[in-house]
Amino acid sequence: MNHDKPQCHCGVFGIFGIDNPAIYTYYGLHALQHRGQEASGIVTAELNENEKTIFKMHKGIGLVSEVFSDPELFENKLSGYSAIGHNRYSTTGASESLKNIQPFSVKYRQGNISIAHN
């Protein structure tokens, strides 16, 4: 093994076009927990009353079961038609900083985008 380069071992999961995608993403991240045990996050996409896509996000430091321990998250906060999730295994960036937990979301002139990567 080459120890000169950082090894990335994050877990990434996404799902589209189903009811309650956040719960499926939770289980996907739980199955991928071995890929990253430092932090976890989920972003869902939902259409608002104006038919514009909005993102809802929850992320935190800890195991998937710790970050998403409140069942209310899946019933109210993370509704939508698609979701992406990420388990973090840090190779760079402060491990205790919430800003380094994926997925990342930004608003720009033409809308919103959210991304999770390894």
Percent pLDDT > 90 in the chain is 61
**CATH number of 11-115: 3.60.20.10, 3.30.70.100, 3.40.630.30, 3.40.50.20?**
3.60.20.10
* Mean pLDDT over each residue of the chain, to the nearest integer: 87
**Predicted model pTM:** 0.86
pLDDT in tens, 27-80: 999 999 888 889 999 999 999 999 888 999 999 999 999 999 999 999 889 999
H-run or E-run covering 29: helix 21-31
Paired strand residues for 83: 15, 44
Do 113 and 62 meet the contact criterion of CB atoms below 8 Å apart?
A: no
CA-wise closest residue to 112 among 89, 80, 88? 80
Torsion of CA 70, 76, 80, 86, to 10 degrees: -20
Catalytic residue among 7, 8, 9, 10: 10
Say what the pLDDT of residue 1 is: 46
Predicted confidence band at 96 (pLDDT cuts at 50, 70, 90)? low
- In the chain, domain spans: 11-115
Question: Which segment, 15-19, 86-90, 92-96, is predicted with the most confidence on average?
Answer: 15-19
Paired strand residues for 52: none
10 in catalytic set: yes
